[in-house]
Structure formats: structure tokens, C-alpha cells
């Protein structure tokens, strides 16, 4: 089994960044660090031979310190957003909320501020058991996060503009971790856009969690575009729990990093709940991607639709894995899992492994599909015969291959961002 030793994942490191935290928060961090130490990278016999954890510069970084300044929420002037937060090198540098959202009772704040000024709310949100995820790197981020964002939307509040959260890497040779905790109460609706970027090409390690609790009838579209520099090791963990009739939509893009290890898990705990998960991966040079997606049906009549597509150039690697589990209580489930990879050069490598675990015979649909293929030279020849240059022909074929996941993103702004990043991969 693949393993990864992180020299900064130590008790004294955790204690140093949580010296000002309340007792319950320190105990939660310690429990998470112990869980990290005892949890394997992956225990599934289906996936264990196809784990990628090498490529992150873990021996070249040191753990970033806790924030010295607690950032308060200010009023947002941008008419296109309901809220905007920035996190640089693990520290929240900006949190702003629109006046209309504040009047509606929306809470949008940094974790550090909440721990100091609203400890009861901080504990309530940080201890929400979104999916009871047992992923090793989720535990790591819970143990070592420097700061994060809390978003709490009251019952019935529907935000008509997105919330944006920007993660930035500015300083080299740091390991930073951040948490984004989102709670949508009964009937609430929101869209969250998360972006990642580096301001320099240097070794770093970044860990990010997105922890979503969608109440009865709530709707959340969570989009995230990862584009850290190619020297950055990225560990992403996203989880959601959907109550009765709640809808969760993940729109994810992975483009940057030396290694991106992503684990997304949605638990459909309520009757009639649903998840749509669309994910695009584009690798080049020596980039590595280990992408996993999971959905668990517990409520009756729940629906899941998971689709991931990877395009890989040069010597890049991309393993795409997934599992849909239908619990014995999850009768009348309707599920689909599709995972595909397109190899653009002879040295690019990939595996695509979808899985199903079904514990009831009362299922409407449980379908999965996977394929790894090389670019079709017949298609290239056809396009060239019509006067299209070879490089343009290959690009058009890749864009066509990725179109189903791009179209499934749902947000035009995110679609344009993804198309621009795909175009940059050809430069």
C-alpha cells in the first residue's frame, strides 16, 4: 500500500498553531491527528493498488504559523457577489458580506474570529458530522488548519449571487491547511465558488476541506477550480450530507499542483435527496492526480449522478476512482457513475475504476462506466484533411471529450474559467 510520511504532522506542531484555541478545539485537533496516524491512505481492495501519493514536496516545507490577526467581516461592495473571502498561506486576509445577505441573517466569518467572539457557533459548525468521513487527509486538515471560513445560511434564505472563496499561495516552502464549513438550513439556497492560485512557482503543501451540511429542501452549488503552481502538493477533501429533498451539486476542476489528491464524498441521508458531481482533470508535464468520488444512498428515492473526465499530456498521470454505495435503507435509488480518461501522449498514464456496492434489491438504476483511451488518430487525420492544423485538431478533440463535464458545471462564469485553463495547457 502507498504511504506518505509528513514530517510536520506532529503533536507539537499541532499544539503550536492551536495555543490560543479553546479546550474543545484542541481536543478535536488531537483526536483528528490520532485518526490521521491510524487511518490508511486507502483501505479499499478495489483502489489500494492505484493510489498516487508521491510528488508532493513534503520534506521541503514547514508548517505555517497560526494567524496573528483576527479578521472581522466587513461589508461587500461588489454587486456581483453575496460574499467574498481570501485566504493566503493559511491566513484569512479578507471576509466581506453584502448588506442584503447580512440583513437576511447570513453568517460569513473566519474560523479564528468565531473562536474568539462566537465560540458557541464555532463549535456548533466545526463539529457538524457532515459525512463522518474517514479519509486520512481529511483528518490531517482538521488537525492542522491555521484558519478557515464559516458560512451559515438561515432557513428559507436564498442567495441570488455567489459566495466566492479564494485560496492563494504567496510564500514558498510552507504547509498550509484551511477549512470551509457550510451549513444551509431548511429551504436555504446558495452558490459557492472556490478558486486556487499561486503567486510564485515554489514548493508548498496545501490542504483544503469543504464540509457541507444541506438541510431539508436546501440547494447548494459548490464550484471549485484548482490551479496552484506545479510545485505544490494539494490535498483536497470535500464532503456533504444532504437531508430530505436537499440538492448538492459539485462542479470541480483540477489543473495545477505537482500532486493533487482529491477525495469527495456525499452522503444522501434524507429521502429524495440528490447529488450531481461533475469533475474535469487536465494534466501536463509530470503532474499527478489521484481523484476519488463517493456517494452513499441512505434515504429513500435518492439520486446520484457522478461524472469525471481526465485529459493527460506528456508524462502526467491521472487515476480516477469512485464508488456508489446503496445502503439497505436506500431503496429506489437512482445512480450513475462515469469515469473516463483520454491519453494525449504515449507516456501519459491513467486508470479509471468505478465501483458499486448494493445492499438492496429495490433499485431503480445503478449504472457505472469507465474507459481509458488514446486520442483517435483517425479523427485527427479527418480534421487535418479539412485544412485544420494538427495541434488545433487535437485541441478540438480534447475539448469535445471534456464537453460533457464542462456543460454539467452549471455556472457560466466557472465554465469560462475552466475553458481558459484548458487553453493554457496547450501553451
Q: What is the pLDDT of residues 299-311, one digit of tens each?
A: 999 999 999 999 9
pLDDT at 28: 93
Q: What is the mean pLDDT of the chain?
A: 94
pLDDT at 3: 67
pLDDT at 2: 59
pTM higher than 0.85: yes
Strand-pairing partners, residue 110, are 149
Q: Which of 24-28, 39-43, 362-366 has the lowest mean pLDDT?
A: 39-43
pLDDT band at residue 287 using 50, 70 and 90 as cut-offs:
very high
% of the chain with per-residue pLDDT over 70: 98
When pLDDT is averaged across residues 147-176 and rounded to a whole number, the result is 96
pLDDT band at residue 408 using 50, 70 and 90 as cut-offs:
confident
Report yes or no: 237 and 138 within 8 Å, Cβ to Cβ: yes
pLDDT at 1: 43
Q: What is the pLDDT of residues 191-228, one digit of tens each?
A: 999 999 998 888 999 999 999 999 999 999 999 999 99
pLDDT band at residue 161 using 50, 70 and 90 as cut-offs:
very high
pLDDT band at residue 130 using 50, 70 and 90 as cut-offs:
low
Q: Is the pLDDT of residue 129 over 80?
A: no
Domain borders along the chain are 11-424
Q: Is the pLDDT of residue 12 over 60?
A: yes
pLDDT band at residue 8 using 50, 70 and 90 as cut-offs:
very high
pLDDT at 19: 87
Q: What is the pLDDT of residues 371-380, one digit of tens each?
A: 999 999 999 9
When pLDDT is averaged across residues 102-116 and rounded to a whole number, the result is 97
Amino acid at each position: 500500500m502507498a504511504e506518505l510520511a509528513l514530517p510536520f504532522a506532529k503533536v507539537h506542531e499541532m499544539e503550536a498553531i492551536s495555543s490560543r484555541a479553546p479546550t474543545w478545539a484542541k481536543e478535536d485537533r488531537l483526536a483528528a491527528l490520532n485518526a490521521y496516524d491510524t487511518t490508511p491512505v486507502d483501505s479499499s481492495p478495489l483502489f489500494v493498488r492505484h493510489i498516487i501519493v508521491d510528488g508532493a514536496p513534503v520534506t521541503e516545507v514547514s508548517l505555517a504559523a497560526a494567524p496573528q490577526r483576527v479578521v472581522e467581516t466587513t461589508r461587500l461592495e461588489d454587486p456581483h457577489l453575496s460574499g467574498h473571502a481570501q485566504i493566503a498561506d493559511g491566513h484569512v486576509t479578507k471576509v466581506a458580506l453584502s448588506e442584503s445577505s447580512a440583513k437576511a441573517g447570513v453568517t460569513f466569518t473566519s474560523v479564528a474570529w468565531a473562536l474568539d467572539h462566537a465560540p458557541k457557533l464555532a463549535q456548533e459548525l466545526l463539529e457538524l458530522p457532515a459525512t463522518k468521513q474517514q479519509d486520512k487527509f481529511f483528518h490531517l486538515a482538521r488537525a492542522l488548519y491555521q484558519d478557515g471560513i464559516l458560512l451559515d445560511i438561515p432557513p428559507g434564505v436564498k442567495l441570488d449571487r455567489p459566495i466566492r472563496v479564494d485560496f492563494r499561495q504567496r510564500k514558498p516552502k510552507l504547509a498550509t491547511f484551511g477549512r470551509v464549513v457550510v451549513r444551509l438550513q431548511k429551504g436555504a439556497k446558495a452558490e459557492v465558488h472556490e478558486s486556487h492560485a499561486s503567486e510564485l512557482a515554489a514548493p508548498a503543501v496545501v490542504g483544503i476541506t469543504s464540509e457541507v451540511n444541506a438541510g431539508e429542501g436546501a440547494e447548494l452549488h459548490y464550484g471549485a477550480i484548482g490551479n496552484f503552481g506545479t510545485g505544490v502538493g494539494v490535498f483536497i477533501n470535500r464532503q456533504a450530507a444532504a437531508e430530505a429533498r436537499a440538492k448538492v451539486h459539485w462542479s470541480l476542476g483540477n489543473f495545477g499542483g505537482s500532486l493533487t489528491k482529491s477525495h469527495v464524498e456525499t452522503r444522501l441521508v434524507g429521502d429524495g435527496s440528490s447529488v450531481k458531481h461533475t469533475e474535469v482533470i487536465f494534466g501536463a508535464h509530470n503532474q499527478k492526480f489521484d481523484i476519488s468520488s463517493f456517494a452513499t444512498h441512505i434515504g429513500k428515492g435518492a439520486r446520484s449522478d457522478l461524472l469525471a473526465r481526465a485529459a493527460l499530456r506528456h508524462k502526467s498521470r491521472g487515476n480516477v476512482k469512485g464508488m456508489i454505495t446503496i445502503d439497505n435503507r436506500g431503496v429506489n435509488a437512482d445512480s450513475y457513475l462515469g469515469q473516463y480518461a483520454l491519453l494525449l501522449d504515449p507516456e501519459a498514464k491513467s486508470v479509471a475504476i468505478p465501483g458499486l456496492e448494493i445492499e438492496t434489491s429495490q433499485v431503480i438504476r445503478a449504472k457505472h462506466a469507465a474507459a481509458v483511451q488514446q486520442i483517435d488518430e483517425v479523427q485527427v487525420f479527418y480534421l487535418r484533411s479539412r485544412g485544420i492544423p494538427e495541434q488545433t485538431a487535437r485541441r478540438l478533440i480534447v475539448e469535445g471529450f471534456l464537453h460533457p463535464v464542462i456543460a454539467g458545471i452549471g455556472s457560466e462564469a466557472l465554465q469560462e474559467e475552466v475553458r481558459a485553463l484548458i487553453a493554457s495547457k496547450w501553451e
